[in-house]
Amino acid sequence: MSVFLDTLEGRKVSRRPLWIMRQAGRYLPQYKATRAKAGNFLALCGNPTLAAEVTCQPVELLGVDAAILFSDILLVPQAMGFELKFGEGEGPSFPVTLDPSKPRWAGDRTFAQGFMPESVSSKLPHVYEAIRLCRARLGATPLIGFAGSPWTLFAYLAQGRHEEGFPRAKQLLWQEPAFSKDVLEVLTDAVIEHLSAQARAGVQCVQVFDSWGGLLDRADFRQWSAPYLSRVAMALEELGVPVIMYCKGGEGAFEDLLPNPARCLGVDWTVDMGRARSKAGPRRILMGNVDPLVLTMDEGTARRKLRECLQAHGREGGHILNLGHGITPEASPELVKKFVLWAREEGERLMQNSQGA
Ligand code: CP3
């Protein structure tokens, strides 16, 4: 077994497991080299051999305790028929956005009422093949699969691209609630299908990224994000797949997610880890929550911030160390490597003290 999976199963472990959100990415020169081989980002996502290679790089180069599949949350809407573009140096964009005046909602007839979730997994065989290749290469190191949350995918599909505050997404929620609910239900089915297919292919845990949960006020979050997150987590936990529910939404979202069926909650760095632990109770697994920018700073600062996170959580088990959001392209790979070693040392010390106490 692994220290990561043991923690998720509630077993006693000798130290804190650590992995890093967005650990396969542009701060690693080896990632950039493999992406250049593939040609571009989407080609890398579509090439199982190269996607498996970048998935395994952080494990092999840095010694993290789990791999996360290299892929993207936006492949699901793409598989549903939305054209997806990744311009060089730009973020992702959808040229055709959600349109409530069209009975089929968007340009492509695959995305409409009567939508079959199986059609999403049938379009993503390369993702599941990458998973099989990763498992063969990773040995005992576990592999995490993932998907975007229904609300986060909705935000991109409504707006077409990242735009401050995602005003068109909110306009649809507030002015076209019946339409928005239909779309969110369909996205939820698609996300469940994709995560279940990842589990069938071999991922041992899944994470849901509600990256834009923090845009919503509390009532909107409880209406337009949390219920769909519950449905996703319930479906996967019922299959026996451990779920990490990550919302970048501060303390309000964290509290609203306490009833979510996921066994593990991701905590962003704006939330106090000690308060999160006392609100969640001793049995819930928590993941997080060092500020990602510490990995762009000096060693002393990075080590101090790591220790502060461990101390804020306290000595109890049930903690998976991670950043509070994705690592930035400016992070230093040498510092990340040291961070992984310090996490082992500090984590072991903490657990020994707790057994002695
Ligand atoms: O964590 C990992 O290492 C696994 C891979 C992963 C990627 N995207 C690869 C990627 C994961 C888990 C994601 C999730 C994702 N994708 C999210 C949620 C993430 C979070 O932290 O909240 C979102 C919002 C997306 C959509 C997306 N993909 C955006 C907005 C961008 C552009 C922003 C950017 O960082 O450039 C991407 C591109 C992307 N996805 C990259 C990577 C490594 C960078 C692309 C490149 O190589 O040029």
pLDDT in tens, 272-317: 999 999 999 999 999 999 999 999 999 999 999 999 999 999 988 9
Residue indicated by tokens 């930035």? 328
Q: Helix %, strand %, coil % for the chain, to 5?
A: 50, 10, 35
The number of residues making up the chain comes to 357
Q: What is the average pLDDT across 338-355? A: 82
Catalytic residue among 27, 31, 128, 156: 156
Query: CA distances (Å), 202 to each of 70, 87, 194, 236, in order?
Result: 14, 31, 13, 13
pLDDT, tens digit, 9 for 90 and up, residues 222-260: 999 999 999 999 999 999 999 999 999 999 999 999 999
Q: What is the pLDDT of residue 193?
A: 97
* pLDDT, tens digit (0-9, with 9 covering 90-100), for 148-195: 999 999 999 999 999 999 999 999 999 999 999 999 999 999 999 999
Amino acid at residue number 221:
F
Whether the CB of 325 sits within 6 Å of ligand 1:
yes
Pocket perturbation via mutation, ligand 1, pick of 18, 28, 50, 72 by most ligand atoms within 8 A of CB = 72
**pTM of the predicted model as reported, rounded to 2 decimal places:** 0.95
State which ligand 1 atom lies nearest to the alpha carbon of 69.
Answer: 4
Catalytic residue (choose from 15, 16, 35, 344): 35
- Reported as a pLDDT band with limits 50, 70 and 90, residue 354 is low
Q: Say whether 35 is catalytic.
A: yes
CA–CA separation, 24 and 42 (whole Å):
14
For residue 161, the SS3 value is: strand
> 269 CB contacts (<8 Å, ≥6 apart)?
288, 289, 290, 291, 292, 323, 324, 325
Alpha carbon nearest to ligand 1 atom 33, residue: 91
Instruction: Give catalytic status of residue 72 as yes or no.
Output: yes
The protein residue whose alpha carbon is closest to atom 20 in ligand 1 is 211
Q: Residue 146's closest CA among 25, 327, 22, 284?
A: 22
Summarize pLDDT for 105-117 with one digit per residue, the tens: 655 545 555 677 7
Answer yes or no: is the C-beta of 323 below 6 A from any ligand 1 atom: no
**Which residue owns the Cα nearest ligand 1 atom 21?**
326
Handedness of CA 309, 310, 312, 316 (dihedral sign): positive
Residue in the structure block whose two tokens are 């959600």: 98
Mean pLDDT, rounded, of the chain: 94
CA dist 170 and 336 (Å) reads 37
Which segments of 176-243 does DSSP mark as H helices, in order?
A: 177-201, 218-224, 226-238
- Determine whether 156 is an active site residue: yes
Structure tokens at 225: 């994000």
Q: What residue owns the CA closest to ligand 1's atom 5?
A: 70
